[in-house]
Amino acid sequence: MNSSNRKIQEITGNLRLIWKEPLLFISILAIFYCLIVFVVFPIFQVFKTSLFIDKQLNFSNYSAIFSKRYYYQPFFNSMLLGIYTATLGTIIGFIFAYALTRTPMPFKNFFRVTATFPIISPPFVVALSAILLFGRAGSLNPFLTKIIGDYTIYGLGGLILVETIAYAPTAFLVLYGILQAIDPSLEEASMDLGASRAKVFSTITLPLSTPGIASAWLLVFIQSLADFGNPMVISGNYRVLSVQAYLQITGMYDLSRGSTLAILLFIPTIVAFFLQKYWVSRKSYVTVTGKPTGATIKQLEWYIKLPVYSCCIIFTAIVFLFYGTIVHGSFQTLWGVNPALTLKHYVEMYQVGKDYLIDSLVLSAVATPIAGIIGIFISFLVIRKKFIGRGVMEFISMLTFAVPGTVVGIGYILAFNQKTVLLPFIMTGTAWIIIILLVFRNMPVGIRAGIAALQQIDPSIEEASTDLGADSNTTFRRITLPMIAPAFFSGLAYNFVKAMTCISAIIFVVSGKWNLITVAILGFVDNSRYAQAAAMSNLLIIIVLIALGIIQLIVNRIGRGVRTVDIIG
């Protein structure tokens, strides 16, 4: 009974604090409204469309999907692809992280940048490079055909290759942080007591890394399931859910069946996300000594160095090969036919794609600061304020990070192509539907960065401001925001990168008036105009690198903060 009274008193106290600051109360209501309209409502519309036909509850879509191989086979294909990609990506990521944190490997900064480079480009750029290298007119096709006979890059094997290259960096960034947090002196002490390298690895390093390995595997699994660009380019006859849902809507004009396929994609992805976030993240075996150390293990046998270093060098070479092919291919007159170098593809790309480029820059420039500001404000509310529904706000705000882009895109075209009570105007076909999708799709990482930064700041600093008479808005603007500015700008970097390189959700809501450069690249690939696609991909990567450089300079100037590449990961 006492605990119930305390709970009631706490709720009453929180309500009084909120009512004393009406602007804060209005801000909380506004945030909830936006989250309900732009996060919950679109997902609800996907579920509703899959369950109702002619306004009648009907399970025929689900019975058809589970009874016809044409529909349920893509589910198993997606799961198999996700398992292969997550396993290989996590192994590569762990080896890279181990090499950079546990060995005296030279040129560590070089290898670290190379390992994370695929993050800043659209994932399907790797698929484009695979076609240029291993396709029917690929530069390596004659050589490989002589060695292994007839083969095809289109299908499961090609997808595993390109998705592993595209998403192994995610596993690396997770595991790099985990291994950095484990003091190497623990392993050194074990070896001083006579344990072998294999014994130390199996009894200390690997068990302490287990939560990070599970987390990395689940994150790569989620990215593989949600991937749209690579399967669209290189899947061949290997059908996966994300592409099938898109084709069902755009090709068959069947919104209800496409929504059902999207739900089938949504379920394993959301389960994996919450396993990663709420189960794995709570399990930590890292021993913190209280003393930061940059030490690495010096006594490293050759039979450890050789496979670890070889793996890092091979993966680095593959990254250079794939992205170098994109650069080289953009200058060839006709890939596989006429290797003469020319600039005509860049001229043609500018003539055809300048409107796409301008649209991408404008829409991304508008969406990025909005996503950053809302993300930081939500993180402030979740960490620093006590109010009814705080946990619900955090849950909903992180939801779009878990939902595949295909589901989000379908949800937006279903939710905003007509007037509703929640939104009394139509957004389909306008720039605003793209901007809002980019904001709420990318916002969760800004929230995560803000939460991490706020947890490092002593709340007593803000309490002192409040005690001196400042309200919450003044305290946030003049005290909190300057201290979390590095995390804010790092979050902006992520938002801009993802806004410029997105494809899976955006492809559903682009229109004749507003389009994006990634959609143009995909169009060039579909029409087998690979050189033009390569030229536009290079331009996109250069723009992203310039933006990241500018934002990183700002972060460095205003103080120590999380590095841009850490936030992106």
Residue at token pair 């305390």: 6
Other beta carbons less than 10 A from residue 487's beta carbon: 26
Q: Is the dihedral of CA 533, 537, 543, 546 positive or negative?
A: negative
Residue 278 burial class via C-beta count within 10 angstroms: exposed 0-12, middle 13-18, buried 19 and up: exposed
* pLDDT, the chain, mean: 83
The mean pLDDT value for 53-78 works out to 87
d(CA 536, CA 520): 8
Is pLDDT above 50 for 185?
Answer: yes
Higher-scoring residue by pLDDT: 166, 20: 166
The predicted model gives 304-330 an average pLDDT of 91
Residue 370 has pLDDT above 50, yes or no: yes
Domain-located, residue 2: no
Read off the pLDDT of each residue in 403-415 and give the average, rounded to a whole number. 91
Does residue 20 register a pLDDT over 60?
A: yes
pLDDT tens-digit readout, 188-204: 777 777 777 777 777 77
Q: What's residue 567's pLDDT?
A: 40
**What is the average per-residue pLDDT within 302-312?**
86
Contacts of 219 (CB under 8 A, 6+ apart): 170, 171, 174, 276
Distance, in Å, from the CA atom of 185 to the CA atom of 363, rounded to the nearest integer, reads 49
Band of pLDDT at residue 85, cut at 50, 70 and 90: very high
Is 70 exceeded by the pLDDT of residue 292?
no
Return the H-helix or E-strand segment holding 413: helix 405-415
Residue 394: predicted pLDDT: 86
Other Cβ atoms less than 10 A from the Cβ of 36: the count is: 13
Average pLDDT over residues 283-306: 58
Whether residue 102 is contained in a domain is answered as yes
Distance (Å, whole) CA 135 – CA 138: 5
Query: Could you tell me if residue 270 is inside a domain?
Result: yes
369 assigned to some structural domain: no
- In this structure, which amino acid lies at residue 329? G
Sign of the dihedral defined by the CA atoms of residues 88, 90, 96, 99, in that order: negative
- The 10 Å Cβ neighbour count of residue 340 is 9
The CA distances from residue 204 to 103, 184, 198, 280, 297, in Å, are 16, 10, 10, 18, 13
Work out the average pLDDT over 265-292.
69
Other CB atoms within 10 Å distance of the CB of residue 22 = 10
Beta-carbon contacts of residue 230 (< 8 Å; ≥ 6 apart): 123, 124, 126, 127, 159, 162, 163, 166
Residue 360: both structure tokens together: 């991408």
Under the banding of pLDDT at 50, 70 and 90, the label for residue 568 is: very low
446 or 536: which leads in pLDDT:
536
Residue 282 confidence class, pLDDT cut points 50, 70, 90: low
For 298-302, 420-424, 440-444, 474-478, which range has the lowest pLDDT when averaged over its residues? 298-302
Structure tokens at 112: 């670290």
Instruction: Choose the weakest-confidence range: 17-21, 60-64, 212-216, 539-543.
Output: 17-21
Whether 529 is covered by a domain: the verdict is no
Instruction: Assess whether pLDDT exceeds 90 at residue 377.
Output: no
How many other C-beta atoms lie within 10 A of the C-beta of residue 452?
16
What pLDDT, on a 0 to 100 scale, did the predictor assign at position 7?
55
Separation of alpha carbons 522 and 536, rounded Å: 10
CA distances to 27, 179, 304, 312, 565 from 103, in Å: 50, 12, 9, 12, 22
What percent of the chain clears pLDDT 90, i.e. is strictly above it? Answer: 29
**Alpha-carbon distance 408 to 502, whole Å?**
12
**List of residues 6+ apart from 45 with CB closer than 8 A:** 411, 414, 415
pLDDT at position 290, please? 45
| C-alpha to C-alpha distance for 83 and 420, rounded to whole angstroms | 40
3-class secondary-structure state, position 339:
strand
The span from the CA of 530 to the CA of 212, in Å, is: 38
C-beta neighbour count of 139 within 10 angstroms: 17
Residue 403 lies in a domain: no
pLDDT at 5: 58
Q: Assess whether pLDDT exceeds 80 at residue 87.
A: yes
> Distance between CA atoms of 377 and 397, rounded to whole angstroms?
11
Mean pLDDT of 74-98: 94
In whole angstroms, what is the distance from residue 526 CA to residue 538 CA? 18
What are the tokens at 310?
């070889």
Domain count, the chain: 1
Q: Residue 421 has which token pair?
A: 């009570």
Q: Are the C-beta atoms of 217 and 87 separated by less than 8 Å?
A: yes
Q: List Cα–Cα distances, 251 to 165, 244, 262, 467, in angstroms.
A: 30, 10, 15, 62
Q: Is the pLDDT of residue 265 over 70?
A: yes
* pLDDT in the model for residue 281: 59
Residue 114 lies in a domain: yes
Contact 342, 465 (CB under 8 A): no
Residue 57 — very low, low, confident or very high, per pLDDT cuts 50/70/90?
confident
Buried/exposed 400-414: b ≥16 CB within 10 Å, e otherwise: bbbbbbbbbbbbbbb
- Predicted confidence band of residue 137 (pLDDT cuts 50, 70, 90): confident
Distance CA 301, CA 197 (A): 8
Could you please report the per-residue DSSP string of 256-271?
HHHHHHHHHHHHHHHH
Q: Which pTM was predicted?
A: 0.85
Provide the pLDDT for residue 359.
Answer: 92
- Averaged pLDDT, 310-323: 94
* C-alpha span between 554 and 474 (Å, rounded): 24
pLDDT of residue 564: 42
CATH (domain of 181): 1.10.3720.10
Query: DSSP character for 334?
Result: E
Residues 451 and 552: their CA atoms lie apart, in Å, by: 20
Q: Which residue has the higher pLDDT, 487 or 120?
A: 120
User: Among 55-59, 107-111, 302-306, where is mean pLDDT lowest?
Assistant: 302-306
Tens-digit pLDDT profile for residues 319-362: 999 999 999 989 988 776 777 888 888 888 888 878 888 999 99
The secondary structure of 416-448, three-state, reads: CCCCCCCCCCCCCCCHHHHHHHHHHHHHHHHHH
User: Which residue is associated with the tokens 């882009």?
Assistant: 405
**Does some domain include residue 332?**
yes
Domain of residue 120, residue span = 59-341
Of the two residues 135 and 199, the one the predictor is more confident about is 135
pLDDT interval class at 558 (50, 70, 90) = low
Nearest to 31 by CA among 282, 528, 434, 392: 392
